[in-house]
């Protein structure tokens, strides 16, 4: 069992897969260590590789729009990725890279123990919810698994490529807020 500091140190020094050879730096998760909401995307992009912080590039601006639309900001959530190092050329992380890095996501999940896990995009949803997950058909739907409420929304980069997806993603973020309320109300029934 890690502490947050030990986990961050392990990620920053990780050499468990080939992604470490080409990265500038690994990108540990960041945010509120008491949050009810863990957002999980696929892998750091170029800007994230430079700065060592998740979602600081163009996709991060879209993520901020989505958070703001739901009355949230970065201090309210914890943001991480399935793999912690930037895949060269921005390719999708390979299944074996994802599997090797899962130990860190498992440790983050154990430390945070969030009631809600939100997958940002297809890759995270296929890894965490179902291998056949279809993001265009199943975004915004909820499943309850191993004590976690899980959903997926469009990846902010997909919204950058197709801004018509923004409204649907905002609605999905509203449903995250509804889920937070539902969980609170179930803890303290009238
Ligand atoms: N895209 C991702 O999937 N993760 C980041 O941290 C940034 C961009």
Confidence of residue 43 (pLDDT cuts 50, 70, 90): very high
Atom index in ligand 1 nearest the CA of residue 56 equals 7
Q: How far is CA 42 from CA 82, 125, 178, 181, in A?
A: 5, 9, 25, 27
pLDDT in tens, 75-117: 999 999 999 999 999 999 999 999 999 999 999 999 999 999 9
Q: State yes or no: pLDDT of 121 exceeds 80.
A: yes
Q: How far is CA 33 from the centre of its chain?
A: 14
Substitution site in 24, 27, 29, 43 for ligand 1 pocket (most atoms within 8 Å of beta carbon) = 43
Q: Which residues line ligand 1 at a C-beta cut-off of 6 Å? A: 41-45, 48, 54-55, 57, 59, 81, 157
Write out the H or E segment, with its range, that includes residue 144.
strand 143-145
- Of residues 187 and 162, more confidence is placed in 162
- Name the architecture of domain 4-187: 3-Layer(aba) Sandwich (3.40)
Distance 46 CA to ligand 1 centre (A): 9
Among protein residues, the one with the nearest Cα to ligand 1's atom 5 is 44
Domain ranges for the chain: 4-187
The model carries a pTM of 0.97
């Amino acid at each position: 069992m890690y502490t947050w500091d030990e986990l961050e140190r392990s990620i920053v020094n990780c050499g468990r897969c080939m992604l470490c050879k080409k990265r500038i730096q690994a990108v540990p998760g960041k945010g509120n260590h008491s949050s009810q909401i863990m957002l999980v995307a696929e892998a750091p992009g170029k800007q994230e590789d430079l700065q060592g912080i998740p979602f600081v590039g163009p996709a991060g601006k879209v993520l901020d729009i989505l958070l703001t639309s739901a009355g949230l900001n970065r201090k309210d959530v914890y943001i991480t990725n399935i793999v912690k190092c930037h895949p060269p050329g921005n390719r999708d992380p390979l299944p074996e890279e994802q599997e090797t890095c899962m130990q860190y996501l498992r440790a983050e999940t154990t430390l945070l123990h969030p009631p809600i896990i939100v997958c940002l995009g297809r890759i995270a949803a296929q890894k965490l919810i179902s291998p056949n997950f279809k993001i265009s058909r199943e975004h915004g739907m909820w499943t309850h698994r191993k004590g976690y409420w899980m959903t997926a929304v469009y990846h902010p980069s997909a919204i950058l490529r197709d801004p018509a997806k923004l409204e649907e993603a905002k609605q999905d973020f509203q449903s995250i807020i509804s889920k937070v309320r539902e969980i609170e109300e179930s803890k303290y029934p009238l």
